[in-house]
Amino acid sequence: MLLIRQFEAESVRLSLSNQIPGGIHSSAGQEGVAVGTAQALGPDDVVSGTHRSHHHALAKGLTPREVMAELFGKADGCAGGRGGSMHLVDASRHFLGSNGIVGAGLGLAMGYALAMKMRSLPAVAVGYFGDGGANTGRVWEFINMAALWQLPLLAICENNLYAVETHISQAMAGESVADRARGFGLPTETVDGQDVLAVYDAVRRARSRALAGQGPTFIEALTYRYEGHNVGDVQNYREKSEVADWLSVRDPIDRLRQRLTAQGELDDAGYAAATARAADIVADAIAFADSSPWPDPASVDRAWPAASAAVAGRL
């Protein structure tokens, strides 16, 4: 989580200074959901992300070097410098990719879950989407099919309260996103996304059910993004005091630190050392990305067929 937090802080800085082209969507504040989920998964489980997926990619095992190089648009990036922030991908690590279409990543995970069931593979597929995605029809089509066919799908809604600039209370009828999902006849759970251990426990239980042939689970993780929807967002739709409250009281890193300290497993020196390691790794990733070459335009006709073949091979 420290690594992701540092990565995002530097990514915002680099984007604002035009070293990262095209802007980014920072996941700072949502680290607990991605890390808690990834720690509960097996090596053959797959993950499909959203447009805000740096934390998903890093938690799934992509290296800071290859993710940062992709943000820079460089050839050593995970998508060869041609995908950018919203299209991170690595089939070898079972990361199906981040996705710029709201809610669409869940459909990729659902399709993969169908392939797993048809081939009797002992693995699950995780599909992330946000509270904004929960107001799109495609998400519920995916949930419906997964429940109908009893697929090994874990549908995880990262409810960070805001769909771009719109608070969920102004966009969604009903009590919660999880309440909507319950009508499709699958197990649902609302979990504190700022508690990495709570997320881990929920995903571990859902994965066990899926592997036992009991079908999909819907998890609504209540979380929060500290930055705007994207770099440059002026954030005049929420009070600064609201952000400060989440940072001071509900931050996932601070909460885990406090817990480990209370258990005698972490002291100030240990935390400082871990923070320094994260900073060093991200600094190395930036240097790597900066020195990486630009993609060769002549290779574009070979890059995407090869990537498609790699994903198909995993099916």
Q: How much is the average pLDDT of 290-297? A: 95
Please state, rounded to an integer, the average pLDDT across all residues of the chain. 95
Burial (CB count within 10 angstroms: exposed 0-12, middle 13-18, buried 19+), residue 281:
middle
Tell me how far apart the alpha carbons of residues 144 and 131 are, in angstroms, rounded to a whole number: 18
pLDDT tens track for 219-266: 999 999 999 999 989 999 999 999 999 999 999 999 999 999 999 999
312 has a pLDDT exceeding 80: no
User: How much is the average pLDDT of 69-84?
Assistant: 96
- pTM for this model (two decimals): 0.93
Residue 298 has pLDDT above 90, yes or no: no
Mean pLDDT confidence for 191-197: 98
Residue 31: per-residue pLDDT: 98
| pLDDT for res 314 | 55
Three-state DSSP string of the chain:
CHHHHHHHHHHHHHHHCCCCCCCCCCCCCCHHHHHHHHHHCCCCCEEECCCCCHHHHHHHCCCHHHHHHHHHCCCCCCCCCCCCHHHCCEHHHCEEECCCCCCHHHHHHHHHHHHHHHCCCCCCEEEEEECCHHHCHHHHHHHHHHHHCCCCEEEEEEECCEECCEEHHHCCCCCCHHHHHHCCCCCEEEEECCCHHHHHHHHHHHHHHHHCCCCCEEEEEECCCCCCCCCCCCCCCCCHHHHHHHHHHCCHHHHHHHHHHHCCCCCHHHHHHHHHHHHHHHHHHHHHHHHCCCCCHHHHHHHHHHHHHHHHHHC
**Has residue 302 got a pLDDT over 80?**
no
Q: What is the pLDDT of residues 261-289, one digit of tens each?
A: 999 999 999 999 999 999 999 999 999 99
The answer, yes or no, to whether residue 192 has pLDDT greater than 70, is: yes
Where residue 301 falls among pLDDT bands split at 50, 70, 90?
A: low
Tell whether the model's pLDDT for residue 310 goes beyond 90: no
Q: Name the pairing type of β-strands 166-167 and 162-163.
A: antiparallel
Grade residue 304 by pLDDT with cuts at 50, 70 and 90.
low
- The C-alpha atoms of residue 207 and residue 124 are separated, in whole angstroms, by 7
Distance (Å, rounded) from C-alpha 205 to C-alpha 202? 5
Percent with pLDDT over 90 in the chain: 92
Residues 6 or more apart whose CB falls under 8 angstroms from that of 64 comprise 3, 7, 58, 281, 282, 284, 285
Domain span at 169: 2-314
**In contact, 125 and 154? CB cutoff 8 Å:** yes
Determine the pLDDT at residue 103: 94
Q: What is the CATH number of the domain that holds 218?
A: 3.40.50.970
- Average pLDDT of the segment spanning 79-106: 95
In whole angstroms, what is the distance from residue 154 CA to residue 136 CA?
18
Q: What is the mean pLDDT of residues 14-22?
A: 94
Q: What average pLDDT does range 183-211 have in this prediction?
A: 98
Asked whether 282 and 10 are in contact (CB, 8 A), the reply is: yes
> What's the pLDDT score for residue 179?
95
Residue 208 has pLDDT above 80, yes or no: yes
Total structural domains within the chain: 1
pLDDT digit string (tens) for 42-66? 999 999 999 999 999 999 999 999 9
What is the pLDDT confidence band of residue 305, given thresholds at 50, 70 and 90?
Answer: low
